[in-house]
Chain A
Amino acid sequence: METISSKNLPQDIQNIPADAFQPLNTSTLEERERIAAPSLSFLQDSWRRLKKNKAAVVSMAFLAVIIFISIITIWVSPHNPTQQNVSYINLPPRIPGLDSVNGLNGKTMVAGQLVDKYAQANVPDNVNFYLGTDGLGRDVLSRLFMGTRISLLIAFIAAILDITIGVTYGLISGLFGGRIDTVMQRILEILSGIPNLVIMILMLTIFDPGILSIVLAMVITNWISMARIVRAQTLKLKDQEFVLAAQTLGESRLKIALKHILPNISSVIIVQMMFSIPSAIFFEAFLSFIGLGLRPPTASLGTLLNEGYKTFRFLPYLMWVPAATLSVVMICFNLLADGLRDAFDPKMKE
């Protein structure tokens, strides 16, 4: 920008009317203290950031669909998942309308020749098993829905216990500090030293195998990492000035934990919970697979894998299907958790 000296005033400056040089009544308080940007709470702001992450959005959509189907199929299912039908065993998938696609039309290769298994088993034309049937004649697709539902149920129960026990433990340990903290941490270390499998087997000797025993095993071990993380965050926040301010106002310790600490660590808790769900799903699947978890006829992704792997050589789809579902669910949760962590991270703020 050119500097103007009073000796060579440009014409356009000279021409400014004298009126323009009258004093301006400076604006009111409102104008000065004006905030232009729209008001966004922390959650709204994070949601906006999350939406930008394509992988997380896709995962969220996938999971929403899967969860929706899992719930709907309690009442509406293609076939009864536990009903056995000896005449319909090991049928390949048949999807109406895809008659030309081998593998999805009810036909498989037997000794080099394409055989219509459905015709062989005298299955009526309007009865279709979209993913085929298993060794006991049960519809794989329906069992998949049931399996996914139960696996997700177990995972959510685990997540809720994670939060309830883990967060409370971590908060108390972090807020009280001192000797209480030391004792609580030592207890944690002892608990985490015991292998999950050992606890599982102990549960089995006391309880019958089933949802209860798996959930109890998770209760004892899975909340530990949440407790540790919550404690670390609490310790960090404890010395922040806004917490000190609450103390000088006379706020009780409980209120400080609920009003000041918890909301500020909620993002960490949510992310940790999201990450713990896939590992809980996998834990259950693993246990059921090795026979320590749920037992048939209850279907879970793990039992389905167990049944499927026995006939893997001949009927691979009996194992591929639950394996693929398990993988997709776990990947989606992981991607979503990843996306949430980035969305919550305040360093991304401008």
Chain B
Amino acid sequence: MEKVLEVKDLRISFDTFAGKVNAIRGVSFELFKGETLAIVGESGSGKSVTTRSIMRLLSSNATIDSGEILFKGQDIVRKTEKQMQTIRGKEIAMIFQDPMTSLDPTMPIGKQVAESLIKHNKVSKQEGLTQALELLKLVGIPNAEKRLKNYPHQFSGGQRQRIVIAIALICYPEVLIADEPTTALDVTIQAQILELLKDLQEKISTSIIFITHDLGVVANVADRVAVMYGGRLVEVGTAEEIFYNPQHPYTWGLLGSMPTMEGTEDKLYAIPGSPPDLLDPPKGDAFYPRNEYALKIDAEQEPPYFEVSPTHKAATWLLAPQAPKVTPPAEIVRRWAIYEQRYKKTGGAN
């Protein structure tokens, strides 16, 4: 499959009054053409920092210490601001969580949608508005012709997010980064927006990096999933592999802490403690203080990635041959059984 974006061993730190915070500690992943890669993580995991670094939109006290971000054969880390401006919005686009603040309240939406096209593709204002109209229809804004001159406050939250999507996609970017685009929306609106994104992905053939903390949403949109914790990717695989054959205790914790459909469990499996303080990260595996399956070596040495399948890897010492066999939480055992049944037999993911 053709690679659209590749991040290699990215390391980013922030300069704060209390010291240097190592927010991203060696992140590597690839994005293939036409796929949706979900990056799952909680607050402080570094998922937003990672994607902002792809857009080179980090705050002034952040430094990319090392690593590469390869896009179309060139390293984004080395590009100048001027060069980045020709990429942002045109080849790599981004949509954010809060539709209220993503739109300019003083500009009519038609103009906002057209702006990107006019600037990047140098079309006339009229042509820009025509295309904007097409895109607004595509994202499902009713009566789009009449509403070109409306302002953001005249639309509902869900409609505003659609407009944001229209702005992002008008230049038909290769990569769309969606940073928690549905977190602030009602569940029924969220379902609509997710359907819209999948629909548009096909029409515009863009590859999507989808950031979220909601595993339900991940199951809905993702082809591949990367689980992030403490500034590193702890497990990467296809959706089936991550949901039905998870190997990292943190992934177990995430899956176990959600109520199941059957709802038979009495208590949810809760990962104790809070996300690590990256000002003073623990030695070894950042997850070990909260990991009930931690081994002595987790406190000494950071685990490397162990291969589970050609498409699935996890950074946990539990996968080393010398590691003892552990029994994961009941919910995970249930999922492993499904995996055994459905996927092992057919010799690979569907």
A contact set with B: CB distance below 8 Å: 1-6, 9, 13, 16, 18-24, 26-27, 31-38, 48, 350
Contact between chains at A20 and B306 (CB < 8 Å): no
Category for how many chain B residues contact A: 35 or more
- In the complex, the answer to whether A21 meets B289 with C-beta atoms within 8 Å is no
> How far apart are the CA atoms of A16 and B300 in the complex, in Å?
12
- From known contacts A24-B288, A36-B277, A48-B17, infer whether A6 and B323 are also in contact, taking CB-CB under 8 Å: no
B216 interfacial by beta-carbon distance below 8 Å: no
Chain A proximity of B342: nearest CB distance (Å): 23
Residues on A with beta carbons closer than 8 Å to the beta carbon of B296: 19-24
Q: Is the CB of A21 within 8 A of B322?
A: yes
Which residues of chain B (294-321) have a CB below 8 Å from chain A? 294-300, 304-307, 313, 315, 317, 320-321
Asked whether B280 is an interface residue with its Cβ less than 8 Å from the other chain, the reply is yes
Verify A32–B321 contact, CB threshold 8 A.
no
CB-based contact B322/A18 at 8 Å: yes
> Which residue on A lies nearest to B284, using beta carbons?
A24
**B274 proximal to A (CB < 8 A):** yes
CB atoms of B289 and A2 under 8 A apart: no
Residues of chain B from 43 to 75 with CB closer than 8 A to chain A in the complex: 61
A297-B14 Cα distance, complex, nearest whole Å: 60
B273 touches A24 (CB 8 A): no
Chain B contacts for A5, CB-based, 8 A: 306-307
Asked if B279 and A31 sit within 8 Å, CB to CB, the answer is: no
A3 touches B306 (CB 8 A): yes
B274 touches A21 (CB 8 A): no
B28 interface contact, C-beta 8 A: yes
Top 6 nearest A-B pairs (CB, nearest first) are A32-B273, A20-B297, A5-B307, A36-B280, A24-B294, A37-B18
Q: What are 16 pairs between A and B in contact, CB < 8 Å?
A: A1-B9, A1-B26, A1-B305, A2-B304, A16-B297, A20-B322, A21-B323, A23-B296, A32-B274, A32-B289, A33-B273, A36-B279, A37-B18, A37-B279, A350-B16, A350-B17
Which partner residue on chain B sits nearest A28 by CB separation?
B289
Measured CA separation A243–B225 after assembly (Å) = 41
Q: For the complex, is B335 an interface residue (Cβ under 8 Å from A)?
A: no
B48 to chain A, nearest CB (A): 14
A116 to B323 alpha-carbon distance, docked (Å): 99
The smallest beta-carbon distance between B314 and chain A, in angstroms, is: 10
Cα–Cα, bound, A16→B284 (Å): 14
Contact B307 A6 (CB under 8 A): yes
Q: Which residues of B contact A (CB under 8 A)?
A: 9, 14, 16-18, 26, 28, 61, 272-274, 277, 279-280, 288-300, 304-307, 313, 315, 317, 320-324
Tell me whether A20 and B28 are in contact (CB under 8 A). no
Chain B residues within an 8 Å CB radius of A1: 9, 26, 28, 304-305, 315
Q: Is the CB of B272 within 8 A of A32?
A: yes
| Alpha-carbon distance A241/B200, docked complex (angstroms) | 39
For B290, give the chain A residue with the smallest CB separation.
A32
Chain A residues near B320 (CB-CB < 8 A)? 13, 16, 21
Bound-state Cα–Cα, A53 to B155, Å: 42
Check B298–A24 contact: CB distance below 8 A.
yes
What 16 additional pairs, Cβ within 8 angstroms, besides A1-B28, A4-B307, A32-B274?
A: A1-B9, A1-B304, A1-B305, A1-B315, A3-B304, A3-B306, A3-B307, A6-B321, A13-B320, A20-B297, A21-B320, A23-B293, A24-B295, A26-B289, A32-B290, A34-B277
How far, in angstroms, from A33 to B274 measured CA to CA in the complex?
6
Name the A residues within 8 Å of B313 (CB-CB): 3
Alpha-carbon separation in the docked complex, A48 to B17 (Å): 9
- Chain A residues whose C-beta falls within 8 Å of the C-beta of B292 in the assembled complex: 26
> Are B305 and A4 in contact, CB atoms less than 8 angstroms apart?
yes
**Judging by beta carbons under 8 Å apart, are A26 and B294 in contact?**
yes
Which one of A13, A18, A31, A38 has the highest number of Cβ atoms from chain B below 10 Å of its Cβ? A13
Min CB gap B329→A, angstroms: 15
Residues of A with C-beta under 8 A to B294: 23-24, 26
Give which listed residue, A9, A24, A48, A350, contacts B299 with CB less than 8 A.
Answer: A24
The CA-CA distance from A350 to B304 in the complex, in Å, is 31
Closest to A25 in B: B294
Complex alpha-carbon distance, A13 and B25, angstroms: 21
Q: For residue A26, which residues in chain B have a CB less than 8 angstroms away from its CB? A: 288-292, 294
Scoring B277, B295, B296 by chain A CB atoms within 10 A of each residue's CB, the highest score goes to B296
Q: Which residues of A contact B17 (CB under 8 A)?
A: 48, 350
**How far, in angstroms, from A1 to B14 measured CA to CA in the complex?**
22
